Amino acid sequence: MVLMAAVACALLALGLLPSIGGDPYTRQTLDLSGSADRGSRLFLINCAGCHGIAGQGLVGPSLHGVTQRKNDRQLVQQVVSGRTPPMPRFQPDPQAMADLIAHLHALA
């Protein structure tokens, strides 16, 4: 009985550890320093059509103050997952995502 409980705890821990540490893409992105200038260019090309040139919102919501509502890990996951339709999934390389996050901080 004790052995079964120990095995169940080990399996549970192994299943939870990846989610606690986050996925490799998110970890790599958050380890980088982003450039708000490069992020602004990326935003204009990929995001402004829905969120507005200044992030004021159009089809998509305003992104002003978004960094006060969501932490950087949540922002990366939102962009990558496209969790809220009609937002598409978008996964640039980690440096570009770090740049985009830096731009979102500048919108605050």
Write down the domain spans for the chain.
26-106
Q: What is the pTM of this model?
A: 0.78
The residue assigned the tokens 């320093």 is 33
If one looks up domain 26-106 in CATH, what number appears?
1.10.760.10
- Arithmetic mean of pLDDT over the chain: 86
Over the stretch 19-56, which tens digit does the pLDDT of each residue have? 455 899 999 999 999 999 999 999 999 999 999 999 99
Give the pLDDT of residue 62: 97
Task: Report yes or no: 23 and 84 within 8 Å, Cβ to Cβ.
Answer: no
Structure tokens at 34: 């982003």
